[in-house]
Amino acid sequence: MALKIYVTENWDQMSKVAADLVEADIQDKQAIKDEYVLGLATGNSPSGVYKHLAKAFNAGRIDARRIRTFNLDEYVGLTGENAQQRVMHCESYCYFMIAEFFGLLQDKFHETNVPWGTLIDQDRLIRALDEHRDFYELQGIDRGKAVVIKDHAQGYLKMILEEVLDAYWKKIEACGGIDLQIIGVGGRGHVAFHESGIPFDGNRVMLVKLDDNTVSNAVEDGHFDSRERSPWYAVSMGAEQVYKARTVVLVANGARKTNPVTEAILGDVTPDVPISYSQKYAAEGGSMIYVLDELAASQLLKARHEVDRKGFEIIDMRGMPYEPVHNLSFVRNPETGRLG
């Protein structure tokens, strides 16, 4: 069973350790194949990883031009008159990726993909859901629900099913699947917008009615002014799709992540804690790597005998040297105009 847990001192070291693992995997695979497929996540936890990776790409240690990326999720319901305005909204995940990663690269990725949630007009979606209740069902035992559109759906819901949801996972498959997927974890153990209580089976890329807790966290974290102005829907890979990657690297820091990480590793595999799917994934041969700061790992360190009993490996990186994220510099070359 390949499940490893790296314990680090803080967010800075977590970022460096995770970036080194990703860089090593890219180097290994780029030595034997033309294209590498990298799965990406948004949020504070992986943003430091991206700074380190950008330095590695710009230094020429790995080749950005031979990489295709797929992100986990995107909001539905950002303000804007059309898809172009919504995709450039300062809280869109497209905008985040450009600001935090893509825009730092001297040589750009061969192709980048973020789920096409901004193609969906939330008001039109809500009308279609109200008018055609026989075209879909809601799945989930908690407040966040998967809106599962049925095959016989017509009109706007059919377009969403075929051109937004199914088209995304089919494109991933056409590229040969994801080599390595970077993920974070939500406060209730959700991965991307696969909310707590949504079933694993059949939900590869899904339309999600967001959990009240997710909406509230987005407001509390300063992303939106109020619950009314916060999106209530999203397009997201489900856990079933996330864990199809050949390697999954989960980064988590801070006390808010302690309980979900502990439950995911020491508890049962359950949709109540979607990242618990990592145990099933590892048992079936997947390469599962957790990179945690000391706070996120605190309960696991206290229960180390249980971790050992389950056959998982803890690798303690505390005290090892690392390069803090705030020491990374991206200076624009006055001659080329490039960052380096």
Range 63-75 average pLDDT = 98
Higher pLDDT, 213 or 112: 112
Q: What percent of the chain has pLDDT over 90?
A: 85
CA 68 vs. chain centroid, Å, equals 15
What span, in angstroms and rounded, lies between the C-alpha atoms of 274 and 332?
A: 41
Range 253-271 average pLDDT = 97
In a domain, residue 112? The reply is yes
Q: What is the pLDDT of residue 215?
A: 85
Among 179, 173, 174, which residue's Cα sits nearest to residue 67?
A: 179
In a domain, residue 278? The reply is yes
Task: Give CA angle at 267 (265, 268), nearest 5°.
Answer: 110
Q: What is the pLDDT of residue 76?
A: 96
Q: What is the pLDDT of residue 334?
A: 44
Among 235, 208, 239, 238, which residue's Cα sits nearest to residue 116?
A: 235
Pairing of strands 136-139, 145-149: antiparallel
Q: What is the pLDDT of residue 213?
A: 79
Q: What is the pLDDT of residue 338?
A: 56
| Residue 305 clears pLDDT 90, i.e. is over it | yes
pLDDT confidence of 223, banded at 50, 70, 90?
confident
Q: What is the pLDDT of residue 310?
A: 95
Among 249, 179, 242, 245, which residue's Cα sits nearest to residue 38?
A: 179
Q: What CATH number is given to the structural domain containing 141?
A: 3.40.50.1360
In a domain, residue 67? The reply is yes
In a domain, residue 329? The reply is no
In a domain, residue 53? The reply is yes
| Residue 332 clears pLDDT 70, i.e. is over it | no
In a domain, residue 118? The reply is yes
In a domain, residue 339? The reply is no
For the chain, give the mean pLDDT.
94
pLDDT confidence of 203, banded at 50, 70, 90?
confident
Among 74, 18, 12, which residue's Cα sits nearest to residue 248?
A: 18
In a domain, residue 337? The reply is no
Residues of the domain holding 266: 3-320
Among 130-139, 173-182, 202-211, 263-272, name the one with the lowest average pLDDT.
202-211
Range 136-164 average pLDDT = 96
**Cβ partners under 8 Å of residue 84, min gap 6:** none
- Quote the number of domains for the chain: 1
pLDDT in tens, 110-145: 999 999 999 999 999 999 999 999 999 999 998 899
Q: What is the pLDDT of residue 265?
A: 98
